[in-house]
Amino acid sequence: MHDPLRGARHAVTAGRFRDALAVLSDLPEVARRSAEALLLRAMAEWRLGDFARSRTDAARARERFRAVGDADGAMRAENVTAAGAFALGDLDEAETGFSRALDTARLLRDELMVARCSNNLGNVAFYLARHDAAHGFYRLARASFERVAFDQGIAETWLNSGFVWRDRDQMDRALVAANAALEAAERADSPRVVAQAFVSRGEAIAALGDTALGRAQADRGLRLAGKQNDRLAEAEALRILGGIARGEGSTADAEQLVRDALGIATELHHPFATAELHRDLAALSLDAGRRRDAAFHFGLAEESFLKLGSVPRAEAMRRRADAVRD
């Protein structure tokens, strides 16, 4: 029996997201409007940074799955809808959606979806600066991914754990996490996650004192991310390269790299990345003695964190802006 969605399904699974969208666009209208086609489109759009469209298409898929009583499809669409809300900064909706999907996954005894939803809830906790909760969710997710031998998921949870260690300024542990992420990503043969792991390794290595090797790792991650059309990873690589340049006293180069990263984050409408980059621009402005500019960027970082509902992070930026103004 002919399966019109087979090509798109395989393209999404293989990480060829632009190919998936092209295949879906060429389908007959009836097939394009099906719940699974909408879900596949939403998954590809999310990976390519089109978060608003992904959220809309996933929500449409969720309602169509529900209409025919497909609990599994509705659960998967709920997870992607919540991922779109998360990327756009609606953490309340994201947490609610991921929790609903997790409850369904447990009822259906779907270990892989339990892992994915736990990982996603860890991301929400991280954005809200709830570090212990984030670590807990990532450990749960990793254990579930290990039970189903899903190496890409294992790699992603290690990457995310590394972000929490970085937030706590424990770069030795962040490097351990980045190394584990790279090992799992290479086992999974996932170029996208390999790129992200190199970026994270670069940041940790540079922070621990080897700036030359750190830059080389981040540069490699930047190139790989470009090949995978992973714009968010490109922005993160540029941010890290900017941090390395700043540490070497190259303030002008650092500022250009961070502004390039900010352009990508702004294009993607990604509040967390935007906030981090304004924070970095504030620090660079202070290095150059531009206190007014620093206060301005700390203020913009505060606004972006508030859009996420990340009150602790927003308050930290407000305190830094106030300190600069005094």
pLDDT at 15: 82
- How does pLDDT run across 44-99, given as a tens digit for each residue? 999 888 989 999 999 999 999 999 999 999 999 999 999 999 888 888 999 999 99
**Residue 2 reports pLDDT greater than 80:** no
Closest CA to 260 of 226, 286, 211: 226
293 contacts 321 by C-beta, under 8 angstroms: no
278 contacts 304 by C-beta, under 8 angstroms: yes
Closest CA to 91 of 249, 308, 250, 305: 308
284 contacts 324 by C-beta, under 8 angstroms: no
pLDDT at 309: 81
For the domain that residue 111 is a member of, what is the CATH number? Answer: 1.25.40.10
Q: How far apart are CA 184 and CA 151, in angstroms?
A: 5
Q: What is the mean pLDDT of the chain?
A: 94
Cα 278 to chain centroid distance, Å, stands at 18
Whether residue 75 lies inside any domain: the answer is yes
Q: Which two tokens stand for residue 239?
A: 């941010």
pLDDT at 182: 98
Write the single-letter amino acid at 237. Answer: A
Q: Point out the least confidently predicted range of 16-25, 146-155, 213-222.
A: 16-25
Closest CA to 114 of 123, 122, 105: 105
Count the neighbouring beta carbons within 10 Å of the beta carbon of residue 149.
Answer: 9
Helix (H) or strand (E) holding 82: helix 71-87
pLDDT at 153: 96
The count of domains in the chain is 1
Residue 1's pLDDT band, with cuts at 50, 70 and 90, is: low
Whether residue 310 lies inside any domain: the answer is no
What range does the domain containing 4 cover?
A: 1-129
208 contacts 31 by C-beta, under 8 angstroms: no
Residue 180's pLDDT band, with cuts at 50, 70 and 90, is: very high
pLDDT at 3: 83
Residue tagged 């990508």 (tokens):
264
pLDDT at 270: 85
- How does pLDDT run across 5-48, given as a tens digit for each residue? 999 999 998 888 999 999 999 988 888 999 999 999 999 999 88
Phi then psi for residue 228, to 5 deg, are: -95, 5
Q: How far apart are CA 263 and CA 256, in angstroms?
A: 11
152 contacts 190 by C-beta, under 8 angstroms: yes
Q: Which two tokens stand for residue 191?
A: 């170029």
∠ CA 97-103-105, nearest 5°, is 100
**Residue 211 reports pLDDT greater than 90:** yes
131 contacts 97 by C-beta, under 8 angstroms: no
Whether residue 297 lies inside any domain: the answer is no
